[in-house]
Chain A
Amino acid sequence: MAMGIIKASKLVFDYIRQDEDDHIEEVNRAIDGVDVDIREGDFVAILGHNGSGKSTFAKQINGILLPTEGVVWVSGMKTSDDSHIWDIRKTAGMVFQNPDNQIIGNVVEEDVGFGPENLGVPTDEIWRRVDESLAAVGMTAYRLKSPNKLSGGQKQRVAIAGVMAMKPKCIILDEPTAMLDPNGRKEVIRTIHELNKKEGITILLITHYMEEVIDADRVIVMDDGHLVMDGTPREIFSQVRRLKEYRLDVPQVTELAYELKQEGVEIPEGILSIEELVEALISLLGDDAGGQKENVD
């Protein structure tokens, strides 16, 4: 059976609020019938407005939340199967939004060692993993520093190293840049792209910053608990109007290109970078007859 590293089938999740006597007060359906299959080694971005269910979906993947209905498989293991829970969490590591609330160690290297310690990895091997993980995120120089002395972007890189030290196949990042300044955001996004390319780690990036999505292999859009769009960044961003319906912004340059196209300028759909737009406009100028030039993609 060809199954991706993460697969969800007919996934439903309800947040249930109970009063003191366990009577159900309110049921909130956060995920409503999601089917998805993620290929190993891909860089997948999940987009969605607040309350779209994207964070809830992330927590389903490493078994922090369990499905109300349906199944989630990680590397072929069902998350609802208690006996595999630690294997699942080891395979699919998770990085959260607030950098302060996920660092346990008081020294950078001790924090990176926390995961392997929990897994019962022998001491020598822990040190080897800590060295490798810190090098992979470029934080070796800070290994003896206190996490409190680091910038937000550096803290998130430490958190990523902490996950890397568990040798995961996949890292899920739940809005890792939401609390960072633009420099920190770039730092973190560059780091996860490197891990994806060099170490072949599957990345699931949950975000609402469009700029972080354009280099992904695949983009999934969630709205109101449903998976509503799924495709390459170019396919997704060529549908500017639909994205707006889901209260999502498109990258500035994509929006500009879209508006130009609406006004009748003959440029291709789904332009993602300034360079692309410049090129498209230049080729328009060169083509004075107004004929369409073949869009090489």
Chain B
Amino acid sequence: MIREITLGQYYPVDSVLHRMDPRTKLFGTMVFIVSLFLADSLAAYGIVTVFLATAVVLSRVPFGFMVRGLKAMIFLLLISVSFNLFLTPGTEIFRFGFLKITWEGIRLAGFMALRLIYLVIGSSVMTLTTTPNQLTDGLEKGLRLLKKVGVPVHEVSMMMSIALRFIPILVEETDKIMKAQMARGADFESGNLIQKARNMVPLLVPLFISAFRRATDLAMAMEARCYHGGEGRTKMKPLRYERRDGMAYLVYLLYLGAVIGMRYFHVAAGMMPKIA
């Protein structure tokens, strides 16, 4: 399961989204997430779906690749769906002991599932089209105002970029240690939750030790290549807004306007039922 997380994995093809400035994409993702929580009707979700679908198509990343990221989310998805499904008060349509399913519950659960799925796909679009380095560059530059109040923006973004680089390596290592421990009789599958957690100790201890060792090595390698913080550093790929970024911001504005507009539209008209 752990291998299937696509978040934070760049998919190298050439597309408009790949070439777009990371700041534009970061902002777009934020706009998208906000819009997910603003949308409260089927029609609004229609707009959201069109926006997301356009982004997915523009990214030229195979759709199956994005959906793979969802598999790791299934557990979380099921929990939030069942909470909404069984615990929402309203018109009862089915009852089983203390559990009851209501119309409102079904609607709420459906939208909750949709929101979570869209959230994962939406952020996957960003991480799949942006190299982690670009992403952190975007964060660093987008948040440079915070540097004035003493937030170590460069350091944080460097840490994020390194963390992202080491995710696949550590995942592979986890797999290796797991197999090595299983070969010696360790059991990661049976038992209840607490036992399972306890069985993870022989996995986590070597993993942590190895991660620390890697960190020391990496710090040395970075110093050997003259890394000394953000001061006086130049960029191989400096961020520059292009025309397409301006266009994208225009699209965001229109999109957000439309989603907010939908809220007032049906509140005023009183036609469509509200959800959430």
Contacts and interface: CB of A to CB of B under 8 A. Distances in A.
A96 B221 contact: yes
B234 interface: yes
A115 B217 CA distance: 16
Given A107-B10, A110-B237, A118 B225 contact: yes
Interface stretch (B113-121, B160-168, B192-200): B160-168
A224 B185 CA distance: 41
B29 interface: no
A144 B133 CA distance: 13
A134 interface: no
A94 B224 contact: yes
Interface residues on B, range: 20 to 34
Contacts of A257: none
Contacts of A89: 223-226
Interface in B190-237: 214, 217-218, 220-228, 232-237
B238 interface: yes
A166 B220 CA distance: 16
Given A64-B223, A89-B224, A110-B133, A101 B236 contact: no
A100 interface: yes
A101 B133 CA distance: 17
Given A89-B225, A89-B226, A104-B162, A118 B233 contact: yes
B158 to A, nearest CB: 9
Interface string A116-149: 1111111100110010000000000000111110
Contacts of A122: 234
Contact of B165 (A62, A106, A116, A117): A106
B89 interface: no
Nearest to B168: A148
B58 interface: no
B123 interface: no
Interface string B137-163: 000000000000000000000000110
B236 A110 contact: yes
Interface in B229-269: 232-238
Interface in B73-88: none
B124 interface: no
B6 interface: no
B226 A86 contact: yes
Contacts of A117: 233-236
A113 B236 CA distance: 6
Contact of A62 (B164, B218, B224): B224
B90 interface: no
User: Which of B168, B214, B224, B234 has the most chain A CB within a 10 Å cutoff?
Assistant: B224
A102 interface: yes
B169 interface: yes
B10 A102 contact: no
Contacts of B164: 106
B132 interface: yes
A98 B215 CA distance: 12
Interface string B1-32: 00000000010100000000000000000000
B131 A106 contact: yes
A104 to B, nearest CB: 6
B238 A163 contact: no
Contacts of A116: 234, 236
Contacts of A93: 224-225
A231 interface: no
20 contacts: A64-B223, A64-B224, A94-B224, A104-B222, A106-B10, A106-B131, A106-B161, A106-B165, A114-B227, A116-B236, A117-B234, A118-B226, A118-B227, A120-B233, A122-B234, A123-B234, A123-B236, A148-B169, A163-B225, A166-B225
Given A102-B217, A118-B228, A162-B225, 15 more contacts: A64-B220, A64-B223, A94-B224, A96-B224, A100-B169, A100-B214, A101-B217, A102-B221, A106-B164, A109-B236, A118-B225, A120-B234, A126-B234, A144-B12, A145-B12
Closest 5 CB pairs of A and B: A113-B236, A102-B221, A101-B217, A118-B226, A94-B224
